[in-house]
Structure 1
Amino acid sequence: MSKRSVAFGKLLRKYIYNPSKARRILKTGLSAEFLRRKTVAVLKNDFSSWMDYCALQVVQKAIFGKNVVWVNLLFPVEILLAFDLHPVSAEGLAGAFASMLLEDVAISKAESMGIARNMCTFHRTSLGINLLGIFPKPLFVATTNVLCDGNIPTFYTHSRLFNIKFFLLDIPRKELPSNKDYVTKQLEDFIVEIEKLLNKKFDMKKLKIILEIEKETHDILREVYQKFCEEPIKMKLYQHVNIMYSLHVNPSLVTLKAARSLLKGYPTYKNVEKRLLWLYLTPYYDNELYEIFGEKSKFAVVTSELEWDWLDWKIDTSRPLETLADKLLKNYQTGSLERRLQLIKKLALDFKVDGVIQFNHWGCKQSSGSVSLIKEELGKIGIPFLSLDGDCVDHNNQSAAQYKTKVNAFLEMIS
């Protein structure tokens, strides 16, 4: 995300095939950056700084390797946290490598073992990271089938490479009482399996405490939502991704601190002429988009869809497993496109955006398969739409000139 990340990546590249040395260097570098972000968060005590710190916390736990579990983005990590485990997003590790411009090494390593090039680069990079042996082996891996159909084969492959257990939660596409019972039973069975694996009794009271923290975080964000819509919080483009990862993978006292900081105020845009809504993710490596939507730009990305995919979820701490089943079934990525369209139109209208940009990650059917329908629906309410093809992870699989030309033409049109 920064020149520091790229410079550190150049150093790490020299020892990338020496796992023990690369691990020591990565531990040192991440610890230094972790301390820097924590210091900034404490001094500033603002939303974005706490979320930046929280997002890095996940990667740092992965490299130190104590009680770590690799998961996908939409796994119910609250259960793992109640076991005193540290959930780490495999997609997030791929993003971390991309920010250091090291994803090409991991991708090449994955392809050398026969992983197809038409597979999403998030998955290819995470598998390559596994094969490089820099990160310690997790206790087990766990995923859901929500959002991405590549999760199941990828996490199964991780389990085979690490020689560890693989867990899958099957989430139905319809929100029905019978499906809620089905998911709740899976969560109960999952807890029993982890109790056996760890030889440790599950603490339901601890799960309730975690959900209470998450509930307070969400309640504050709902409280400031309308203010956000009128006066959006000023952020850098990549920070929208940090917020998404923090809320999904690391719901904690840190995310609660971030939310509470909003109650005392937050920085807003002063001279922005046009507002934009971002769909899907942004590239993790430094690129032209960060310049286009930089500090001095008159165009601002005021929010992104994945920051708000929990809006329909009401946490009931008295029934923790049922409420986690609700979380999975109510997520707009579960089910038909209509649910996603409802959220997109709500955010576009509430935030009074002048345009919507969807980034179509290469190899991801979810991000590109619905483009024409989204464009059509937004057109009905008079909101311009740009479909931008690219790669979130592989910096060699993108065209800076294409980004600049297409985005600038779109921004000129809405001006």
Structure 2
Amino acid sequence: MNYLNIYSTVINNFLKKNKNAYYLLKLGIFIGKNYVKFFPDKRLPKSLRYLHQITFDWTYKGMTSKRCVWVNLFAPAEILLAFNLDPIFIEAISAFLSGLGLEDELILRAESFGISESFCSFHKVFIGAVLSNLLKKPKFLVATSSICDANLNTFRFISESLKIPFFFLDVPREYSKEAKDYLKLQLKELVSFVEKETGSKLDLHKLSRIIQIENQVRSQMKECLELLGKKQIPTTLTFEMFMLYTSHTFIGKEETLKFYKMLVEDLRNAKVRDKKGVFFIHTLPMFEENFKNLFNFNKDLTIIGMDLNYDFLEELPTDDPIEALSIKLLKNPYNNDFEKRIEHIKKLISLTSPDAVIQVCQMGCKQSIGCSMLFKEEFKKLDIPFTFIDVDCVNKKNNNHGQIKTRLEAFFESIK
């Protein structure tokens, strides 16, 4: 008996009948977070078992807490953590709901409300969940203009639909003193906004401590990259995606530092890499059957990493945390032009020495689809096998599984 399928069917029936399924969803997440704590997957190293626990815990808080705040992946969540708030990035919630098999009904709800069919499914699923009253109303919303041009429209729509406050950060594309000052002013306005919404004052010492933890985390990340070039651990597409929690929204948490220290230790003790190593660009299709069959605990292939999990690796100043956050947002290679992004990816490639690179082009994402041919040219110069594949990471019905299988088989046949 597949209990997850039964649970999914029950929630879908609630959604179809316009019944409130929030408490049913909350119960499922509560059971899930305790299940992974007491019955961890023994195939995984200790670090990834711990990652499973903390991501479930953060997801539960972000979807049920009275202090939850919805953000995008690149929002300066450090400020929110300094106020003891519970941020959660909307892409994580969408992926979680898709994992429960709820995406069809939620996408239908969003599209019936006028959301375009070509709109990113990560955002459509989330909008559908909001329209279905499937999620607890957050205190407020915070988003940036970084990378994804759907952020402003999605968060504005949610703000208007739920009648909740929304703060938007306009991040300039080029780094300069003027851009830094402009962004610092916005970040100070964000602090004032959060102080007003929470009734609390920002503790700058606490924010500085969060930046200090971030710096320690990045030091561990760099060691991970060097080890990933030589070692391998059993993993899955899902756990690489879980690392978006620790590399972005929760990077300043003590639990994150503990995870990366554990990961470094696991890699040090791991066997030397004897499988074909694949590095991913943009995202991972953790629900697509062909990718799952190829990469989850595979005896011939191993996932080395994903570029977004190592997008910013510089040490930040801790004496002025607001300036540190402005530097981080502005200097992120994915906030700049293609040249900055490819140069950063080349550094990651030189550290990890993959046998192949795959760019996953998320359906509806112009940012990923638009640079595929440029990547192809660059990796040809490096003499590294590269391919790009169009996949919908959330809407499973949107994928041509036969075509994806053919593309993957042909690609890996060429690198044997």
TM-score tier after normalising by the smaller chain length: over 0.9
* SS of equivalent residue, structure 2 residue 247: helix
Partner of 1:302, secondary structure, is strand
- Where do residues 5-404 of structure 1 align in structure 2 (5 Å cutoff)? 5-17=4-16, 22-39=21-38, 46-251=46-251, 252-266=253-267, 268=270, 272-285=274-287, 287-311=289-313, 313-404=314-405
Shift of 1:15: 2.1
Cα shift at 1:60:
0.8
Q: Deviations over 1:119-160 (max 9, x none)?
A: 111111111110010211111111100011110011000100
Superposition TM-score, scaled by structure 2 size: 0.93
Counterpart in 1 of 2:407? 406
Structure 1 position 6, deviation (Å): 4.6
Distance 1:71 1:18, change over 3 A: farther
Identity %: 31
Cα distance change, pair 391–263 in 1 and its aligned pair in 2 (3 A): closer
Q: Equivalent residue of 2:305, what SS?
A: strand
Cα deviation for residue 237 of structure 1 reads 1.6
Within 2, Cα distance between the matches of 1:310 and 1:379?
25
1:157 corresponds to which letter in structure 2? F
Contact 1:95/1:284 (<8 A) preserved: no
- How far off is 1:45 after superposition? 7.6
Residue range with higher mean Cα deviation, 125-134 or 284-293: 284-293
Q: Distance in 2 between matches of 1:192 and 1:54?
A: 30
Cα distance change on mapping 1:41 and 1:325 into 2, 3 Å: farther
Q: What per-residue deviation string (whole Å, max 9, x for no partner) do you get for residues 371-399 of structure 1? A: 00110011001011111011011011002
Does the 8 Å contact 1:54/1:246 carry over to 2?
A: no
CA distance in 1, matches of 2:213, 2:113: 43
Moved more, 348-357 or 55-64: 55-64
Using the TM superposition, give the Cα deviation of residue 53 of structure 1 relative to its aligned residue in structure 2, in angstroms.
Answer: 2.2
- Calculate the aligned-residue CA RMSD, in Å: 2.1
Name stretches of at least 5 consecutive residues in structure 2 with no aligned partner: none
Please tell me whether the aligned partners of residues 121 and 364 of structure 2 are also in contact (alpha carbons under 8 angstroms). yes
* 1:170-214 Cα shifts (integer Å, max 9, x gaps): 111111122111111110111112212222211112212222222
Kept in 1: contact 2:20–2:132 (CA 8 A) = no
1:20–1:316: structure 2 CA closer, same or farther, 3 Å change rule?
farther
Residues 279-316 of structure 1 show CA distances to partners (whole Å, capped at 9, x for unaligned) of: 111124252211011323312221111110021x2122
Corresponding letter in the other structure for 2:340: R
Distance (whole Å) between structure 2 residues aligned to residue 273 and residue 346 of structure 1: 22
Deviation at 1:51, TM superposition (A): 2.0
CA distance in 2, matches of 1:349, 1:374: 15
Query: How far does residue 14 in structure 1 lie from its aligned partner after superposition?
Result: 2.5
- Give the 3-state SS of the residue equivalent to 1:87 in structure 2: strand
Any unmatched runs of 5+ in structure 1?
A: none
Is the Cα contact below 8 Å between 2:93 and 2:126 reproduced in 1? yes
- Report the count of equivalent residues: 412
Q: CA deviation at 1:54?
A: 2.5
Give secondary structure in 2 for the equivalent of 1:387.
strand
The answer to whether the Cα contact below 8 Å between 1:309 and 1:331 also exists between their aligned partners in 2 is yes
Runs of 4+ aligned residues of structure 1 deviating over 6 Å after TM superposition are 41-45
How far does residue 226 in structure 1 lie from its aligned partner after superposition? 1.6
Distance 1:143 1:4, change over 3 A: farther
- Would you say the 8 A contact 2:103–2:125 is kept in 1? yes
